Structure 1
Amino acid sequence: MTTSTSIAVLVGSLRSDSVNRKLAEVLRDQAPDGVDIQIIDGLGEVPFYNQDVDNATDIPAAAARLREQVGGADRVLAVTPEYNGRMPAVLSNAIDWLSRPYGAGALVGKPFGVIGATPTPYGGKWAHADAVRSAGIAGAQVVEDVTVSQSALEVDVLTDPEVLARLANAVRLLVDHDTETVAA
């Protein structure tokens, strides 16, 4: 019997030619045996979080779909650039929706990591720190060793073997994270 680990990927860029979207696709296409990486589409369709709407009997379909997809995954990986020294609004909004209902949201107890590339010397470290902090507050089990902030200034992050090896290793660390040890 083969066990599979599913990873829901939240891409922090809506741009059609996004490097981070392409990185997520490379990771999906090169996923190790037994790992199913699903890129969650439609984050741009999820309305800004509003508790009045969330308390309604029918939450917006895009938000319900996001919660269902992430809730059904074993792990969560954010693949994101950095906008003005912070995580993009679309990723922040997704985490807001996934954090509810408080204490029982789709992120609670899920191993979470963040990677990404930006054309800056710091590779998105501030955005990645924001995502880690926010997901942790939302109840995710942040796997610190998974964070990869890669500068895209002097390297093609989509083809460089060292960069791709670091990203693949981050996926392995996320998959291998033992949730039972953390919970004990």
Structure 2
Amino acid sequence: MQSQDSGSATSEPEPTFVRVTATPAPIDTPTPAAIPTVPSVSTAEQLADPVFPDWLDPELTDVQPSDEKIIQGWTDFLSDTVITNQLFGNSQEHFCADGTHFSRAWPSLELVESPEDWSVTLHPGLSSSDWGTVQIQSIPISRIGGKLWGGQQEHEIRRSLKCLELAATSGP
């Protein structure tokens, strides 16, 4: 016999979990948009690496240009270029056509703008017969054996994208 306190043997256990229907809140997701690409404002000619003029190379010509033409020729050749010296931790010198000079030197390799504009001068320590060597600010540079040298190390000269970007953002 069952006591009244124990309840019925057929009673259901009380549910432990309750099922609740939830409606997810809408998530505001922006519609994907195509990222606009900015076409390069630099021409293929501007992006091409500079070509050293034969008339400025004393190994290729017997005619010595005037000092002014030598300076102008080197200035035109070096405008919007970057000179890299692998022997000194890939140090770089950027020479922009507007005279701006950026330098990336070891150990930080941070690209910083020089307080002085760059310019080409004749190398003061050489005779006029060695007219193929000029100086960029305080960096002597010359062309020997078809290669560019500065401070007894060969240098690589390429087009400076930094200078081209600077020229594009500053306008005409």
TM-score (norm 1): 0.26
Query: Greater share of helix residues, 1 or 2?
Result: 1
Tell me which structure has the larger Cα radius of gyration.
2
Tell me which protein shows more strand as a share of its residues.
2
